[in-house]
Chain A
Amino acid sequence: MRRTFFLYVEENSPLYRLHPLLKILLLLFFNLEAWIIESPTVLWLSIVGVLVLFKLAKIPLARLLKFLLFAAIITQAIMFSYILGSKIPGNVVYYEFPWGTYVTDRTLLYAFSMVGRFMLMLVGSTLVLAVTRDIDIIYGIISLKIPYALAFTVSLAFRFATIFIDDYFKVRDAMILRGTALDKGGILERARKYVNLSIPLMVLAVRRMLELTYVLEAKGLNLKGKRSYFYEFKLGSLGIALALTLITIPILTLFLKMSYGLFTFPGWPFNG
């Protein structure tokens, strides 16, 4: 099993073979749809749809378990913020807080809707990133005809992120070995410890950057002049159709929401 920075697992399915540009568009698609749609029914149905795509793409659903803790924390934060700090009118008032906010049936439904938005972003992004190699992002950027300097910078950032992470763990272990309890103490004390931790990381980064400059000179890096590309990026007619679909649907969703109130939360606006 081959894994990359984005937990990519190589499998033989159409989703894996998508053009890198389409993968970027798909990522944007899920996030835009989650941002536009408010209706809890549509949101949760979309999530079920994405889970079906997981199955089709042969991605183990267990992949999502990696984000379980993160999802639980965010869900709790959303629920508590609505329960404790909102004034959404509803049919049933469950509780009124002394500070003036209250919990209604709609409060809970709206919080449920917000959790649905977050979950769609999470599940959709996980789906795309599970079929995306870090290099796909670079190829996607290049095929968007964005200046090579940007694509190369992103590529270099991905490449050196792993080296940086490796350094981070080494320095962290070295500090622990000298009696540092990184997770103990007040905020200021912890901050001081992390400043200490960042010093060697910065020194290592600077030293590496100097050598990297020589390496790039030796490899004849040319950011401004003409260069050629080893890979050909052809979308094909099916790819173009899919790209257009992925661009059109969010626009259409937004249009229907703004013009006809579709995909909005039932009864929105609450004071209307």
Chain B
Amino acid sequence: MDSRCVLKVEGLWWKYQGSKEWVLKDVNLEVSEGEFLGIVGPSGAGKTTLCLALTGIIPHAVRGKIRGRVFVFGKDTSKNPLHRIMEDIGIVFQDPDIQFVTMRVIDEVVFPLENLGLPREAMAKRAYWALKVVGMMGFEDKYPFELSGGQKQRVAIASMLAKLPKILILDEPTSDLDPVGKREIFQVLQTLREEHDMTLVVVEHNVEELAKYADRVLLLNQGRVLAQEDPRSLFSKCEYLIRTGVYPPQVTEFFYRLNKYRGLSVANKLPLTPEEAYEAMSKLKVSVTPPIVEDASKNCKSTPIISFENVEYVYPDGTVALRGVDLKVFRGEFIAIIGANGSGKTTLVKHMVGILKPTKGRVTVLGKDTREASVSELALKVGYVYQNPDHQLFCTTVYDECAYALRNLGLPPQEIEERVEKVLERLGLKEFAGTPPYFLSKGQRQRLAVATVLAMKPEVIIVDEPTTGQDHVQSRSIMELLKSLNDEGKTIVVITHDMRLVAEYAKRVLVMSKGKIIADGSVRSVLARLEDLDVSALTPPQITRLFLKINPNVSILSVEEALRTVRWVA
């Protein structure tokens, strides 16, 4: 083994007990000391399983069949006790809440050290050092519910750092986080690299950040390693990546397609960041024609279907979640609500379905004051799909799940049958009608959650963060579904942190900050208001940033639009 190789995987195969399929298939991998290895791949590729195998949790704490070997600093993980392996390695998981197993920040950071049996002084020294590294000094006495998702994830990293591991593995550490949280985590990772020369293995759907920081990226699909190359080389294989279910950075895709379809040799190496792309563009003889902008309001009728008038909402603990909100939602709109965690997005939409009633002001849905209507009455007009589909699935079969609300409404059996069959077919779930919902994949459960709402034929469908924790293929599948419903005349309100999907699908965007709507307008106009977005720590998609830099009056929403915009000057 190379002396600088700290992690080595040799012909690793793994399948979980009771499973027929191998989840990892002949994985071979070496990670050098101080290296930043990114791992990408679609959902179900085996990324989490690989992380568990790298730490020794597989095979020590998970039952299944293993072939091949994993070495951490030359120690075979299957032949050494787990606690010995864990001395050198730390792992941070996706869910910031589950990882917080004690009740205060300082307790969380010292917990692994207490398990190691360290003396008190050593624990204090390491814990405060780790908190300082992740920028959480001063938060020692805070409780989990007092922290944002990003802060909890930083505590999880500190908790592992305090053990002084030589390798840190992070399994989708930013997927549950808002843009502020994502930025915080990558800043911490950068610090760990630059100041502590730590070896990092990071599984991430956000390829744009990985492209910036990783030395090497491994592409995993269906348990197999398809490629392991430097980011520029891997992300330049755009078509191959998209076929695999991984979307390359937008500017890389833009230049790739410019090269391929326009037959232009515009760059020797494809750019990974908007800055690199800007530099490449400035060398080209191209002009940028602003796109023909369709009036987003032309399909909207003048009478709003949902109206907020100076709405304020105060939670029982005194937290003011909405402050003087005025809003009108018109029929047929596709609205995206964006903003940091705690900015009031979910509180706002809960007023639309009547789960919350305003403390001050007035909310009307189809002309009816929500304070005078029951939730079930409003639910017939406005459907609400939860972020986690598991919160809203409680029947024994997929069919019953869709029929549940209709039975509560007292509809005749024949109508229920017709509606359920139609909606299951519409969402591609007909073959699962008799299946228990919990046997479906997460993507299918998400579709079922939409189906249960759709069966009630609401005029407005609200979807709360449908893309969280999903890969791009699944995210696009959900957004395509919402788009088709919008095309059929449904009003769609979606809360999301994915700015790329906001740009590509939404027609109108609301930016929330501290309980207020700070920007409201067409997606094109809002994404061009960089200052307003910056207040909410939001960043427009790469392609939008690139074109705004070229011409502040040109707001581009997608790679396709960018390709149509560029004109070659002879």
Contacts and interface: CB of A to CB of B under 8 A. Distances in A.
Contacts of B386: 170, 174
A91 interface: no
Interface stretch (A47-55, A109-117, A121-129, A195-203): A195-203
A155 B120 contact: no
Contacts of A134: 103
B391 A217 contact: no
Given A175-B394, A204-B390, A230-B120, A218 B55 contact: yes
B86 A211 contact: no
Contacts of A207: 390
A213 B52 CA distance: 12
A25 interface: no
A96 B63 CA distance: 70
B103 A174 contact: no
B119 interface: yes
A17 to B, nearest CB: 15
Given A4-B143, A199-B394, A177 B379 contact: yes
B182 interface: no
Interface size classification for chain B: 35 or more
Interface in B142-188: 143-146, 159-160, 163
Name which of B111, B384, B386 has the most chain A CB atoms within 10 A of its CB.
B111
A134 B146 CA distance: 15
B110 interface: yes
Contacts, number: 149
Interface size classification for chain A: 35 or more
A135 B116 contact: no
Name which of A3, A162, A177 has the most chain B CB atoms within 10 A of its CB.
A177
A162 B160 CA distance: 24
A240 interface: no
Name which of A196, A225, A228 has the most chain B CB atoms within 10 A of its CB.
A228
Given A135-B107, A170-B386, A219-B115, A177 B353 contact: yes
Given A221-B115, A227-B114, 20 more contacts: A134-B103, A159-B102, A159-B103, A162-B144, A170-B391, A171-B394, A174-B384, A174-B386, A177-B355, A178-B376, A178-B408, A178-B456, A179-B376, A179-B409, A204-B390, A204-B391, A211-B95, A212-B101, A214-B91, A215-B99
Interface of B: 52, 55, 57, 60-61, 82-83, 86, 90-91, 93, 95, 97-104, 106-107, 110-120, 123-124, 127, 143-146, 159-160, 163, 317, 353, 355, 375-376, 379, 383-384, 386, 388, 390-395, 404-405, 408-409, 438, 452, 456
26 contacts: A135-B103, A135-B104, A135-B107, A155-B103, A163-B97, A175-B394, A176-B376, A177-B353, A177-B384, A178-B379, A179-B408, A196-B395, A200-B393, A203-B390, A204-B391, A207-B390, A212-B101, A218-B55, A218-B86, A218-B91, A219-B111, A220-B83, A221-B115, A228-B116, A228-B118, A230-B110
